[in-house]
Amino acid sequence: MELNMCVLPGDGIGPEVTEQTVRLLEVVGQKFHHKLNFDYGLIGGAAYDETGQPLPDDTLDLCHNNDVTLLGAVGGPAWDHLPGDKRPEKGLLDLRQKLQVFANLRPIRYIPAVSKSSPLKSEYLEGVDLLVVRELTGGIYFGEKSKGIDKASDLCAYQRHEIERVIRVAAQMAKQRRGKLCSIDKANVLETSRFWREVSNKIMTNEFPEITLTHCLVDAAAAYLIQSAAQFDVIVTENMFGDILSDEASVLCGSLGLLPSASLGEGGVGLYEPVHGSAPDIAGKNLANPSGTMLSAALALRYSYSLTEEADAIDAAIDTVLQSGCMTKDLSPNDYVSTREFTDAVIQALG
């Protein structure tokens, strides 16, 4: 099978983690007899420095011309002075919107080998295996914005079809898992949340009666993720809540460096990226954890190519390496390996 991927290394540690992930994918391709083709493009601060735009047209063309896009990270202090429409993060938001990847999937599971990296006691972590489905192209991040001398505003708005389509994705994921879906909102205060709850109830009743649907206010959900996260199977929520809650949930597995994500649209379009940021403090030092990017690549194989065996092989290899005690600095500050050494171990574990 021929696999065509666009790679956007981005900023900070992005080039390091994508380089090692491409190494891993090439080995997976050899092992399972696939031909992999990689096109490279600029995004974020790196793109701004070269072109004056955080998302050049050439990059967007590359993404449209490939099956999937693998992204490293964007942003950093070097570009904090830029106006909003030139900042690296604007390039990422525009990419998500223009690719129409509206459903962001962030799997989070307890890995016993790295439990010491979590600030939580093990009894709060056992049995944690959840999936956050975040609406990605609507809400307050994309609403009308204004800023004056004494006032600023960001509009949070949702259309019915935006809610319906992400609820359907989340429900389908719940069908493949344990059959439980929790929709998170702020319906006691926000009209958008009351509308979200109304639409989700209708979709689930009419189309997915076999799935157990519950609702939870976002402030309560934030507490439950720390106190009893094992109760959750699939969580679905709006853009900003999903961003915050999934980052909070990183403590459940010990590090943001372990969390992957898949952003899906219609017809198999996919944007795959780790949940972590650009970590400029360790950029270029060969210290970054590449696991989140590698696991994101596994999600690309799973969701965009339906290559389940290959995706499972990457997941299993990373688990094997972590269980052996081979970890990067974020997981083991006093006894750690480099980004490249960790990748070497994962490649060896593939067999």
pLDDT in tens, 118-175: 888 888 888 999 999 999 999 999 999 999 999 999 999 999 999 999 999 999 999 9
> In what helix (H) or strand (E) does residue 160 lie, and over which residues does it extend?
helix 160-176
Query: Tokens representing 162?
Result: 């935006």
Q: Which of 243, 272, 305, 330 is catalytic?
A: 243
Residue 141: active-site member: yes
Residue 315: active-site member: no
Q: Which of 58, 80, 219, 281 is catalytic?
A: 219
Tokens 């997981």, residue located:
331
Q: Write down the mean pLDDT value for the chain.
A: 95
Distance CA 55, CA 60 (A): 7
How is the chain split into domains, by residue range?
Answer: 1-101+261-351, 119-252
Contact 337, 15 (CB under 8 A): no
Q: Which residue has better confidence, 191 or 97?
A: 191
Distance CA 95, CA 108 (A): 24
Q: Which residue has better confidence, 351 or 100?
A: 100
pLDDT number for residue 117: 85
Which residues have C-beta within 8 Å of that of residue 288, sequence separation ≥ 6? 13, 16, 17, 257, 279, 282, 328, 339
Q: Does domain 119-252 have CATH number 3.40.718.10?
A: yes
pLDDT at 179 over 90: yes
Residue 329: active-site member: no
Q: What is the mean pLDDT of residues 215-234?
A: 96
Pairing, β 129-135 against β 103-109: antiparallel
pLDDT number for residue 120: 87
Q: Which of 48, 186, 233, 330 is catalytic?
A: 186
pLDDT number for residue 118: 86
pLDDT at 52 over 80: yes
Residue 344: active-site member: no
Q: Which of 141, 158, 303, 305 is catalytic?
A: 141
pLDDT number for residue 158: 98
What's the pLDDT band for 269 if we cut at 50, 70, 90?
confident
Distance CA 310, CA 302 (A): 8
Helix axes of 191-207 and 160-176: crossing angle, nearest 10 degrees: 50
- pLDDT above 90 as % of the chain: 90
Question: Residue 118 carries which DSSP code?
Answer: S
Range of lowest pLDDT (177-181, 294-298, 329-333): 329-333
pLDDT at 268 over 80: no
Residue 40: active-site member: no
Q: What is the mean pLDDT of residues 16-21?
A: 98
What's the pLDDT band for 259 if we cut at 50, 70, 90?
very high
pLDDT at 26 over 90: yes
What single letter denotes the amino acid at residue 72?
Answer: G
pTM of the full structure? 0.92
The third-level CATH classification (topology) of the domain covering 1-101+261-351 is Isopropylmalate Dehydrogenase (3.40.718)
pLDDT at 241 over 80: yes
Q: Which of 49, 67, 129, 247 is catalytic?
A: 247
